[in-house]
Structures are given as structure tokens and as C-alpha cells.
Amino acid sequence: MTAAGDTALGLYLAVPFCRSKCTYCNFASQVFAPARYAEYCELLARELALAAADGLAGATLTSIYWGGGTPTLLPAAGFARILQAIGDHFTLAPGLEHTVEAAPGTLPPERLDALAAGGVNRLSLGVQSFADAELRAVVRLHRAATARDDLARARAAGIANLNLDLIAGLPHQTESSWQATLDAALEAEVAHVSVYMLEVDDDSRLGAEVLASGSRYHAAAVPGDDFIAAAYELACERLEAAGIRQYEISNFARPGGESRHNLGYWLRRPYLGAGLDAHSFLTAPRPRRFANPDTLEAYLAPLRAGRLPRSAPTWLTPQAEREERYFLGLRRNAGVGMPHEPDEATQAAAAAQHLADGLLERRHGGIALSAQGRLLANRVLADFLETPLALS
């Protein structure tokens, strides 16, 4: 059963529950009755046991990341049950980064205490905006004041490593409301800020409405791409000036405050994903990616029967690995090494083309996206894929 698997890895725990579904959300998260939370936690704990038995028993966890959904909706008992399973089957690396994503307004004192007691040392708060009109428009249940309050209490509870998520491009966002959001984010003096840009696609109800030129969900008040690009640039500038330096397209941190777990994605370090629609990347004995089902029943049913619910693995070919190194690695400001011929002919050509058009620049003897290149990253990264494509 237990072929030699990865011995050190990150752990991602997906908690798909929300109090309300934000209009821009395209995750496999939903509003489920709290009655279902207990079973979910129980079966997630079972998944961890099964995954450990499948080649990962005793592996050292270098980071734990609870994502969502809204992990802070989990009842204390469920949270404890999962932590228990982690402790039973894995080894925790000394000083590991242990992050929980939280929606402002879901952190009563007892929950904060339970998190801290459970070893959580980093909190990622889904603030999105400090403008109440924008929060209301996308059906966030919290207000700016809630977020400020939560930050203060998290610190009081001993969780000092804090991240704020912000979204450029929310409906009704204006230059001055965005400035105000950035002001508030800087005043919070957090270690880490993530700045996302609103994604308009058919996977969210707001995105679909924008594409259909409709008016529901405040779609008509979504700012255009030019505004979003300018807002993003402004955020980069102001965060940098405050010593919060960009290290990835959407991520900014004070020195040492980078998210180790998320860095693992771009550096292609192994991680195990557990929970609904969670994705995994394991490297030993051979690199492969697989994912759990993205509907609750399809995820739970196999676990009830004592089986892992994951998809068949996609084994990465040398080509796929080569492509990933570039399209993931280039997301980091540190960039990647210069591609070399003849093994990396496609990548060398792409590098040459985009060094010439200014979307890439040289960095530390390698290449990295330029400021304009970060905003046009899809165009650059697509050119690092080879023809014929590795997967499709």
C-alpha cells in the first residue's frame, strides 16, 4: 500500500461553507445548512487518514492552510476533530505556518481563542474593500468597521501574522473609494496584503451578468479593465512605498511575511489538498496532480464508503513540468532562470520575444515579468506552453 511518498508537504483544507454566496465568487462553495458541517468534518478527518495511509503516513507538514468558503464557520468540535486527525497521521514541522481564511464577522472571541489554541498563527481576512457600498453590492455580510474590529481582536488573541484580501474592480468602486480602501489597509499595519482583480467570467453570477450586459448584481457598476489596471498599479505603488513589497502577481508582504504555503504553489513544492474540490500535487515517487470532486455529494459518498474521493492522477510529463516551472514560477517577482536551448526552445523563444516587447525583464541573471507584464501575464505565460499542448 504505502509506496514511498512525499515526506514533506503543505496541507490545504477546503471548507466550502459560507453564510452567503458573494456575487463574484466562482469557487465550489455554497451556503449549506450547519447541520451538515459535522458530517463534513468527520469525513474530512477520514480523508486525511486515508490519504496518510496511501503513502504519506508520518509525512512532515511544512504549512497548513484552511481555505474556503469560510473555514471560521466550522464548529469548534469539527475544527478540533480535523486537527486531531492531522496530529494522528502527520508530523508538524517546527514553526510551521498555519493559516486560516476568515470572513470578517465570523470571529467571536471564543473562536479566535480556539484557533490560537489549535496552533493557528496566521489569519487571512477576506476584507475585499473598506467601502461599505461596495461590500453591500457584492453581498458581503460585513462592513469596514467589522474588519477593523476583527483585526484588533485577532492581534489581542495572539495571532499577529495577518493578511488582508482586497479586490480591485468591485461594483461602484471609484478612484477615491479605492484610495480609501488602500489607506485603511495600510493603517492596519498588517504583514501581508493580497490584491486580486475582479474576474469577469461565466463561473460567477456577477461575471456572467457583466458578460451578458445585464444589470443584476450591480453589474452595470463594475468598472472597466482600464480602471482595474490603474487601481492595481496604484495598489502596487502604495504598498511598495509602505514597505509591503510585491512578491507575486497578487501578493505583497513585509520582508519575511510572505505566505510560505502559497509560495509552494508557484515553486512546485508538494501539497496535499483535502476537502471539497481540493487539489493536490505530489512529487514522490513521480509528479502528479489530482483533485477531489466539486459537488458535496460526490465528495462525501466515497468517504462514507471508506474510499478516497480523488480523481485519477494526471502524471506530469517532462514537457508539462517544464511548462509549469515557467507559467507558475514567472508569477513570482523573483522570476525564474533563463530558459536554455535546445530542451527549452519554446520557452527560450518566448523569453526572447517578451524581453524584446518589454513584458519580461532580466532579473538576477534570469527573467521576471515587468510591471506591464504582470498586468498582461496571461499573454506572456501562454507563450511558455509548447505546441502540441501537454494536456489537452
Instruction: Please name the helix (run of DSSP H) or strand (run of DSSP E) that holds residue 146, with its range, or none.
Output: helix 144-156
* Alpha-carbon distances of 156 from 98, 113, 116, 266, rounded to whole Å: 18, 10, 11, 32
Q: Could you say which of 134, 150, 344, 383 contacts another protein (CB under 8 A)?
A: 383
Q: Could you say which of 161, 177, 204, 250 contacts another protein (CB under 8 A)?
A: 250
Instruction: Please name the helix (run of DSSP H) or strand (run of DSSP E) that holds residue 22, with its range, or none.
Output: none
Least Å from the CB of residue 13 to another protein: 9
The nearer residue to another protein, 71 or 104, going by C-beta atoms, is 71
Least Å from the CB of residue 320 to another protein: 8
- Decide: is 197 part of the binding site for another protein (CB under 8 A): yes
Q: What is the total residue count of the chain?
A: 392
Instruction: Report the C-alpha gap between 249 and 235 in whole angstroms.
Output: 12
Q: Could you say which of 102, 114, 164, 278 contacts another protein (CB under 8 A)?
A: 278
Residue span 281-320 as binding mask against another protein, x where in contact by CB under 8 A, dash where not: x-------x-x----------------------x------
Q: Could you say which of 54, 155, 265, 283 contacts another protein (CB under 8 A)?
A: 265
Least Å from the CB of residue 323 to another protein: 8
* Alpha-carbon distances of 209 from 23, 169, 199, 201, rounded to whole Å: 10, 15, 12, 9
- Decide: is 199 part of the binding site for another protein (CB under 8 A): yes
Q: Could you say which of 226, 256, 286, 312 contacts another protein (CB under 8 A)?
A: 226
- Decide: is 375 part of the binding site for another protein (CB under 8 A): yes
- Decide: is 67 part of the binding site for another protein (CB under 8 A): yes
Residue closest to 129 by CA, chosen among 167, 183, 172 = 167
Least Å from the CB of residue 145 to another protein: 27
Instruction: Report the C-alpha gap between 380 and 361 in whole angstroms.
Output: 12
Instruction: Report the C-alpha gap between 384 and 350 in whole angstroms.
Output: 6
Residue closest to 330 by CA, chosen among 282, 280, 298, 370 = 370
**Using an 8 Å Cβ cutoff, are 280 and 290 in contact?**
yes
As beta bridge partners, residue 160 has: none
- Decide: is 273 part of the binding site for another protein (CB under 8 A): yes
The nearer residue to another protein, 7 or 311, going by C-beta atoms, is 311
Q: Which of residues 315-374 bind another protein (CB under 8 A)?
A: 323-324, 327-328, 357, 359, 372, 374
The nearer residue to another protein, 157 or 276, going by C-beta atoms, is 276
DSSP 8-state secondary structure symbol assigned to residue 388: S
- Decide: is 381 part of the binding site for another protein (CB under 8 A): yes
- Decide: is 228 part of the binding site for another protein (CB under 8 A): yes
**Using an 8 Å Cβ cutoff, are 317 and 368 in contact?**
no
**Using an 8 Å Cβ cutoff, are 194 and 163 in contact?**
yes
Residue 120 phi/psi, 5-degree rounding, is -65, 125
As beta bridge partners, residue 315 has: 288
Interface with another protein (CB under 8 A): 12, 14, 27, 65, 67, 195-197, 199, 225-226, 228-230, 232, 249-250, 262, 265, 271, 273, 277-281, 289, 291, 314, 323-324, 327-328, 357, 359, 372, 374-379, 381-383, 385, 387, 389, 391-392
